[in-house]
Amino acid sequence: MCGIAGIMSAASPAEDTLARLARALAHRGPDGHGSVSRDGVALVHTRLSIIDLAHGVQPFMAQDGVALIANGEIYNDTDLRRELGPADFTTGSDCESILHLYRREGEGFAANLRGMYAVAIHDPAKKRLVLARDPFGIKPLYYIEAAEGFFFASEPQALLKAGLVAPRLDLDAVDEMLALNYSTGLDTPFAGIKRVAPGETLIVEGTRIVKRLQQPALPASETAARSDAEALKAFGDVWRDSVYVHQRADVPYGMFLSGGIDSAAVLAMMAQLNERPVLAFTAAFPGTDAHDERDGARKAATAAHARHVEIEVTADDFWRSLPAIAAAMDDPAADYAIVPTYLLAQAAAREVKVVLSGEGGDELFAGYGRTRAALRPWPFAKQPWRRHSFVNFPGLRLQTDWHADIADIERKAVARYGKGLKALQAVDCAAWLPNDLLLKVDRCLMAHGVEGRVPFLDPRVAAFAFNLPDSQKIRGRRGKWLLRQWLSENFPATDAFAKKRGFTVPVGAWIAAQGKRLGPLVARQPGITEICQPGSVEALFGGVTQGTAGQAWTLLFYALWHHHHMIGAASSGDVFETLAS
C-alpha cells in the first residue's frame, strides 16, 4: 500500500512541488519514496513495504521507457508473471506485473488484474499518461484537469498542500454529503478536484483526458442454478482462495473482528489457513448503551484459537481523536464508524502492517433490511432508493438538488439489472460502498501506515455471490442466507442465524452530554454559518435526542472537516480546543 501522485504539464514540474506531494502522502508510505521527472511528466511514490521489502522500490521502469507507480496489491501477480513469460522483471513486487501487462495489452490492461489498485503509467513513446482504479474503488485516486496542467494524487489533501488548487467548496457535493453522509459521482466537495471513478481507466494526452474506459465491478445478470449443497461447496472453494491470496504478505498481518457474520467468516477461513494464531482486533464502548460486540467476538476468537485484542473506545477518546480523524477523512464521509476504525488501526499499527476486514459482505450477499424489502410483494415493497436527507431541520439551507448523482446511479442499475434485488445491490456497490465504507477503511488505516484488505470484494467472490439466486441470498427473514449457512457448518461457534444488529457507536450520547457546551462552538464555525442559522444549530445541540443525534453528529463532523481542510486551521487539540481556536 502506498501513496501516488503526479503532474503532466507543458513545463517541467518544480522540485519543491513534487517534494510537497511526497510529504503530504508520507503517512501512506512511511518506508521510503521515489520519483521520476521527464518530458513535462513527473511521478511521485511513497512506499509502504508489504511484498519484496528490499527491492520493490517505485517507480518501476521498463527498458522501453514506460514508467509505473501503483498503490495496491495484485493478487494474481504469480499467474500474470507466468503468462507474461520472460519479461524484464527486476523485482518481486506484485505491482511490477502491471507494468509489463500494460506493455503487452495497452490501455485495456486493467481487465486482467485481480486486486485492489490505483495506478499511474507514463508512456513516453505515446506521450500519454494512464490512470486506472480497481472496479470496486477500494483504492482512491483523484485528479485536477486545469489550464496549467493535469495533476493527480491518492488523496485530495495532497493536491491542496502542494498548492495545485485553492480550497473552494463544490456546494453540490457538500449538500450531497450532508444528505447522505457521503458524496457520489466524480465531484468531491473540493471544487476542481475529481475522483477517478471505480473501474475507470483515463487516457491523458497534452494534459487533457482524451479517453475513458470502464470496467464494471459486478457481472452481467446470469443466475447460477445450483443446489444449496453445490452452492455451499462452490462458495467454500472461492472463499478459501480469496482469503489465501489476501493474506499474501512479507510482513505481519491481522484482522478486524466484530460480532457479525462477515468478519466471523474472515476469521474462520484465516484460522483454517494459518498455522499461527490469527491476531484479531475488536472495538467496544464500555459504559454506554451501544451493543457490546465483545462477547460474540470473544467466543469466535476462542473457537478459532485466535489472539484477541480488545480496544475500549470512550467519550474521552472520541473528543480527543475526532479532530485528527476529520483531518484524515479529507474526502468527507460522516460515518460514525470512522471513530472505532481509526482507533483500531492505531492499535493494530503497533503489531501489523496488513489488516483484513469484512466490508462488502452485506452488499454482495444482500444483508441489509432494505435489500430484503426488495423481495416483498406489492404493495408492501418499499421504494429502495434513497430519498431522505440525514440532515434536515429548520434553519438548514441545502442550496442544491443533492439527488442528482444518486439518481443517475439508480437509473443505470435499473437499466442493467431491472427493478429488483440485483439493482439495489448494484446501487449499494456503486454509491455507499466506495464512497463511505471503503473510503473509511482506506483513510483510517492509512493514517497509521496500515494496509486494509477486503476479501469479499475479490472479483471471483463478487461474481459468485452476485449471481446467486435470490433464494440463496434471502430466505425467510434472513439476508446472507448462503454465507450464514456456510458459517454454521464450518464455524459453529458463531450464531450464524442470529438477527442482524447494525454496528452502532454511541456518538449521540456523547454529543448530548456536551451539547450545551458544544452548540455555540459548532454554530459559529464558518462552514456551519454558510449553511445554517446559528440559533437553530445551538437549539439542535442543546436538546439532542435519539431522533436528532445523527444530525448533530454530521454537523459536528462537517464543522471539524471544514475547519481543517477549507480554513487550513490546525487539528492538534481535542474537539473543544480545535473549534475554539
Domain that holds residue 65: 2-214
225-256 core/surface letters (b: 16 or more CB in 10 A; e: else):
ebeeeebbeebeebbebbbebbbbbeeebbbb
Residues 277 and 359 in one domain: yes
CB 359 within 8 A of CB 456: yes
Structural domain contains residue 254? yes
Query: Residue 390: what pLDDT?
Result: 65
Mean pLDDT of 373-393: 60
pTM of the full structure: 0.95
Mean pLDDT of 81-92: 84
- The region of weakest confidence among 121-130, 272-281, 371-380 is 371-380
- The region of weakest confidence among 134-138, 215-219, 290-294, 483-487 is 290-294
Q: Is 486 exposed, middle or buried (0-12, 13-18, 19+ CB in 10 A)?
A: buried
Residues 209 and 312 in one domain: no
Cis peptide before 219 (omega within 30 of 0): no
Nearest-angstrom CA–CA distance, 532 and 527: 9
CB 362 within 8 A of CB 353: no
Neighbours of 215 (CB within 10 A): 17
- The region of weakest confidence among 367-371, 390-394, 405-409, 564-568 is 390-394
Structural domain contains residue 63? yes
Residue 222 carries which DSSP code?
A: -
Q: How confident is the model at residue 379 (pLDDT cuts 50, 70, 90)?
A: very low
Residues 457 and 531 in one domain: no
Single out the residue of 439, 422, 432 nearest to residue 364, CA to CA.
Answer: 422
Query: What does each C-alpha distance from 548 to 350, 515, 539 come to in angstroms?
Result: 37, 12, 11
Residues 6 and 144 in one domain: yes
Residues 58 and 162 in one domain: yes
Residues 62 and 174 in one domain: yes
Q: How confident is the model at residue 388 (pLDDT cuts 50, 70, 90)?
A: low
Residues 200 and 305 in one domain: no
Domain count along the chain: 3
Mean pLDDT of 156-183: 95
What string of DSSP letters covers 121-167?
EEETTTTEEEEEE-TT--S--EEEEETTEEEEESSHHHHHHTTSS--
Whether pLDDT at 377 is above 80? no
Structural domain contains residue 131? yes
Query: Residue 191: what pLDDT?
Result: 97
Whether pLDDT at 404 is above 50? yes
Whether pLDDT at 179 is above 80? yes
Query: Residue 146: what pLDDT?
Result: 96
Residues 485 and 514 in one domain: no
Structural domain contains residue 386? no
How far does CA 298 lie from the centroid of its chain? 27
CATH number of the domain to which 99 belongs:
3.60.20.10
Residues 6+ apart with CB under 8 A from 527: 558, 559, 561, 562, 563, 566, 567
Mean pLDDT of 240-264: 94
- The region of weakest confidence among 47-51, 52-56, 68-72, 142-146 is 52-56
- The region of weakest confidence among 94-98, 277-281, 345-349 is 94-98
What whole-number percentage of the chain has pLDDT above 90? Answer: 76
- Greater pLDDT, 235 or 546: 235
> Please, how many CA atoms are within 13 Å of residue 83, restricted to the half-sphere of its CB?
13
Residues 478 and 553 in one domain: no
Nearest-angstrom CA–CA distance, 470 and 459: 20
Structural domain contains residue 396? no
Mean pLDDT of 272-288: 94
Nearest-angstrom CA–CA distance, 285 and 306: 22
- The region of weakest confidence among 86-100, 138-152, 224-238 is 86-100
Structural domain contains residue 497? no
Structural domain contains residue 111? yes
- Greater pLDDT, 279 or 385: 279
CA dihedral 156, 12, 4, 572 (to 10 degrees): -50
Structural domain contains residue 418? no
Residues 274 and 370 in one domain: yes
Residues 265 and 313 in one domain: yes
Query: What does each C-alpha distance from 26 to 150, 176, 329 come to in angstroms?
Result: 22, 30, 16
pLDDT of 300-345, one tens digit each? Answer: 999 999 999 999 999 999 999 999 999 999 999 999 999 999 999 9
pLDDT of 407-427, one tens digit each? Answer: 899 999 999 998 889 999 999
Residue in this structure with the C-alpha cell 517505485, named with its chain if needed: 58
Cis peptide before 379 (omega within 30 of 0): yes
Residues 136 and 21 in one domain: yes
CB 358 within 8 A of CB 458: no
Query: Residue 53: what pLDDT?
Result: 64
- The region of weakest confidence among 50-54, 74-78, 297-301 is 50-54
CATH number of the domain to which 369 belongs:
3.40.50.620
Whole-number average pLDDT of the chain: 92
The count of residues in the chain is: 581
Mean pLDDT of 479-506: 89
Bridge pairing between strands 279-284 and 307-312: parallel
Query: Residue 384: what pLDDT?
Result: 45
pLDDT of 29-61, one tens digit each? Answer: 888 889 999 999 999 999 876 665 666 688 999
